[in-house]
Structure 1
């Protein structure tokens, strides 16, 4: 072969290698995001509150789990009225969790392990201790309209401007004696809402996003997005149709057409996405992403993804809370199927599915659906296409902790009569690492919330050494989930009324998910299961991993399984599994070699 041609081939091979190792724009589409509630994850300083050094110490654990990225609930400077969701400085880590150098170290060490760091961005409101709000109260010209200020009804200071209510209960307006006006707060009175009709506010918030992107974060979880804008005329909300027996001070007594999901709010999320896309365009690292929290109706949830035709994009994904909000202990296999198919049928193909089964605002899976169903729900989440989001502790089947009223920390649950109903403290108790003092959360100092009493039997150390444990099932799930091609077709069936079955199929293999939801033991006859192997089983299953199924299988009540089988291979299997960019390069190489 001519030397010049040989050099050309070598350069081509180098180019192919570069193509295969360029920034990954689609990493997030099949990612496992792990939510860490820093206060309760690991307390390195032994002051009773979790911190960033504690998170750093547990990065190897996240790597062992197979986590792609971890999202940290708020860690910025805050008076902690609402556990950090009341931010007084968006660019400074709260001393409670460490400092900015600790965050830099966390990002660096996580990246070494292939784990991306996602920060919690809270754009709707600040703390009343933020310098912007102080300046606004004092009448500093630039900051006069940084927040939502109004005179009282008919300029009577004794009555709020309208009937808007707070998510935390009661009127959503607080009178400020210094400025002699009312300010609006969708949440606690210590959390004044920003005024997004002021372009300076928009610019400042976008600058904060860019600041943290420059520090190396992989993206943001954006909090409470439906509330960014309010009706420009401040008209009263309309009462709901069903007001009988509903406390008029309760948020649910109004319809919230003036304060929720306004078109301007959607536009602002689209603007945030444009900023992120522009940043990605100008940087060579893996794609930075945004994911939005929107507790709203289904159609509006889809809009936070972007417009149906993709002409404007919103979040890379907005959280799908249907498994949290719609499933109960009485939900049937058909109910689960309907939830999934609703997303399959209505989310435009240009967008990516996501499945969330727990977070810091809702009771844990084991408490909501029963300990016997923990594995089934995790396996369900993992077998489905798209993004998987895990709340810390769900991988070991943690249950809600025990918190008395006098130990409360949640600002939305201050009434003893409704404490158990409203408090979010129960799902936020410290992570259970082992059976030592305070479950290994710290070295023995009093914890900010009490450690659950069941930590002796539910902890990482114990489950690591138990083959059939929630933790080891979770690890196996994530390991095998990464092997499923994103192109695998998905089919859902309910067999014999109670057995939920999900098939993920490619030209070369099929994964089967089986879950007997609340039914009597069922014998499933399915020729498609011939020669399939049990890959993963729930802790309540007595079957053996690795055993072969020959078309018939007995699925016990609440038992869940993932099976796997190879399909007949064809000559196109290599091309089928090869990444498109690499495939093109390989074909070009073949062409060049044939031309030499």
Structure 2
């Protein structure tokens, strides 16, 4: 008899017996500026989010993660923070936030906040005082003297060759202080100095402030940029980074350099572990488990370190491999490899997560194709651990077209290129949410919106998909319900690429029905034989049926022949409980 390799998922120990709600949660990312406008100014806001909490409860979301809502000049739309303890006026007031928290609690929804600590806005009081060399703030940021230009001794150029993620030099000269400051992102986002213990304590204080308000966790933005190399180890200077050799890259492009001194420094992990201690303290204090998600685009071994080490617990690092390694051409084996890559490298006892998109990446439907919306959503929901859904993925929203004239994203604007700017722009994934087919897609009653609504809003929106016999929305909601089943919440995992175009994901828990998701990537009908999944009983029923499937929810099938329509995604369950897994 063939042996079946099962990936056994062990759950991390709970803190003092508190329910670790997030171990199999659906977390819905809201980009506040584009979710729902309550006052007609064309900008989404907190009250708009509050008004739509019943929608999120209806589809089965466990928690909402809010992109930054803090006081900001909005040069980078909230990721440049002036005051971490105040709400941006265009989003509302602290009273509005408190109301959001109260309504969310009534509905059983949790709130997770973006925790943007790599940098502040240059309008921050901290930065202003640092430019004035106020002794309490002088070293809150990364400052360095300029370097003489060999061709012009009277000119002090940037301290080294470091390049911003948003292109061009990562250093900006400040006349008042007479030095350059580091900004790994926009010019208006000076990097904080985490080698200063006062800065670390400031950020811990910010975390406690919001935990006191009852938030259920944080997502740390750009976590692997928190530390730069220690200049004390390089004769007091910040050394040049080596060239990457990337084809076609210019000295102004971020990929021109190999970022060995500005990313992934060892000290970063200790900060994450220290913050986890605070979250655990509030888990006990409030009897509500707190989640910490970390964002880092890095090599797999470096990402896995964010989970913690043998002595200390860490975060749940975002799994971006779906976005970075899969395309609309990926076959069943490619998808299986991407799944296995995370599951086999993840430390024992930790929690997986699955991310199809976010506010920085092309939307799921645009990246993978509309035909694969159900496929990718189903995988993210049926695989072990946390599902991260970016707003609009549940209805298959596509990227909007944003002209050069309408472009707002500083990453695109910095290209200064009216022809190729779109290659760097994040605006297309940030267009307003589609609620219905009325003006502005039901997002706003105003005469205009901060970004134009996507052209297809009249056919791709919540109202249309709720009314349709079959839709991405209805399938998403059905699969979220399946995620609550015991086998999906805590069962073992088996992933099989049955052929180039068919993949099956089975979840087992002895004493409970088996759940199996089946996907046809091909543009023709395929009869699928699931007999190779030995622990799967013969008789099955459809629990969730994608928009392109002929089979309906409740239909009965046998595992020897499941007819899969083109681009169909199905979730089946066994009509009898699973036997014990073989030893």
Note whether the superposition's TM-score is higher than 0.5: yes
Distance (whole Å) between structure 2 residues aligned to residue 252 and residue 569 of structure 1 = 50
2:525 corresponding residue in structure 1: 521
Matching residue of 1:324: 323
- 1:582 corresponds to: none
Which stretch of the first structure deviates more once superposed, 537-546 or 203-212? 537-546
Report the more deviating stretch, 490-499 or 177-186. 490-499
SS for the counterpart of 2:336 is helix
Query: Which is higher, the Rg of structure 1 or of structure 2?
Result: 1
TM-score where L is the length of structure 1: 0.89
User: Counterparts of 1:380-529 in structure 2 under 5 Å?
Assistant: 380-414=379-413, 415-485=417-487, 486-507=489-510, 508-518=512-522, 520-527=524-531, 528=536
Query: What residue in structure 1 maps to residue 562 of structure 2?
Result: 553
Matched, 1:346 2:345: yes
Show the counterpart of 1:298.
300
8 Å contact kept, 1:499–1:519 = no
Contiguous gaps of at least 5 residues in structure 2: 1-15, 232-237
Q: 1:379 to 1:138 in 2, by over 3 A?
A: same
Find the counterpart in structure 1 of residue 141 from structure 2. 147
Q: Distance in 1 between matches of 2:523 and 2:345?
A: 29
| 1:33 alignment counterpart | 27
- Contact 2:336-2:496 within 8 A present in 1 as well: yes
2:332·2:499 contact (CA, 8 Å) conserved in 1?
A: no
The aligned counterpart of 2:192 is 194
Q: Does 1:378 align with 2:382?
A: no
Query: Is 1:289 paired with 2:283?
Result: no
Matched-pair contact (CA < 8 Å) for 2:117–2:226: yes
Give the drift of 1:268: 1.1
Deviations 1:532-562 (A, max 9, x none): 0111111111122211112212223321111
Q: Residues 489 and 569 from structure 1, CA distance in 2 versus in 1: closer, same or farther, beyond 3 angstroms?
A: closer
Assess if the C-alpha contact under 8 Å between 1:496 and 1:522 holds in 2.
no
> Aligned residue for 2:119?
125
Residues 335-382 of structure 1: per-residue CA shift (max 9 Å, x gap): 100011111211012210000111101111111111111011111111
Query: Structure 1 residues 380, 208: closer, same or farther in 2, change over 3 A?
Result: same
CA displacement at 1:417 relative to structure 2: 2.7
* Higher deviation after alignment, 195-204 or 411-420: 411-420
Question: Residue 495 of structure 1: SS of its match in structure 2?
Answer: strand
- Within-5 A mapping of 1:189-228: 189-228=187-226
* Aligned equivalents of 1:79, 1:184: Cα separation in 2: 19
Distance in 1, matches of 2:75 and 2:156, equals 26
Provide the residue aligned with 1:589 in structure 2. none
In 2, are the aligned partners of 1:88 and 1:127 still within 8 Å (CA)?
yes
User: Does the residue aligned with 2:457 lie in a helix, a strand or coil?
Assistant: helix
Gaps of 5+ in 1: 1-21, 573-596
Q: Secondary structure at the match of 2:341?
A: helix
Structure-2 residue corresponding to 1:82: 76
Mapped partners of 1:57, 1:248: distance in 2? 47
How many angstroms apart in 1 are the aligned matches of 2:499 and 2:42? 51
- Contact 1:23 1:286 (C-alpha < 8 Å) held by counterparts: no
Cα-Cα RMSD: 1.7
Aligned to 1:54: 48
Task: Establish whether residue 312 from structure 1 lines up as the match of residue 349 from structure 2.
Answer: no
The Cα of 1:443 is off from its aligned counterpart by: 1.0
1:387-430 Cα distance to aligned partner (Å, 9 max, x none): 00100111111011121110011000012232111100001000
Note closer, same or farther for the CA distance 1:24–1:461 as it changes in structure 2 (3 Å cut): farther
Q: Does 1:540 align with 2:539?
A: no
The answer to whether the 8 A contact 1:434-1:460 is kept is yes
Could you tell me how far apart the structure 2 residues matched to 1:142 and 1:435 are?
A: 54
- Following TM superposition, where does structure 1 have runs of at least 4 consecutive aligned residues deviating by more than 6 angstroms? none
Tell me what 1:135 maps to: 129
Tell me: CA distance 1:313–1:569, structure 2 relative to 1, closer, same or farther (3 Å): closer
> What secondary structure is seen at the aligned counterpart in 2 of 1:565?
strand
In 2, the alpha carbon distance for the partners of 1:264 and 1:200 equals: 16
Equivalent-residue separation in structure 2 for 1:66 and 1:367 (angstroms): 24
Q: Tell whether the 8 Å contact from 2:25 to 2:62 is kept in structure 1 after alignment.
A: yes
C-alpha distance in 1 between matches for 2:44 and 2:299: 34
Deviation at 1:470, TM superposition (A): 1.0
TM-score of the two chains, using structure 2 as the length reference: 0.91
Q: Which residue of 2 aligns with 1:16?
A: none
Report how many aligned residue pairs link the two structures.
Answer: 546
Determine which of 35, 45, 52 is the counterpart of 2:39: 45
Deviations for 1:434-471, whole angstroms, at most 9, x for unmatched residues?
Answer: 11111110113210000111111011111111131111
Q: Distance in 1 between matches of 2:248 and 2:577?
A: 62
Q: 1:44 to 1:568 in 2, by over 3 A?
A: closer
Contact 2:41–2:446, Cα closer than 8 Å, also in 1: no
SS in 1 for 2:252: coil
SS in 1 for 2:412: coil
Q: 1:243 Cα deviation (Å)?
A: 3.9
For the residues of structure 2 that align with 1:60 and 1:523, how far apart are their CA atoms?
Answer: 40
CA positional deviation for 1:45 = 0.8
Take 1:455 and 1:244, find their aligned partners in 2: how far apart are those partners? 38
* 1:116 alignment partner, one of 110, 121, 131: 110
Give, in whole Å, the separation in 1 of the partners of 2:537 and 2:427.
44
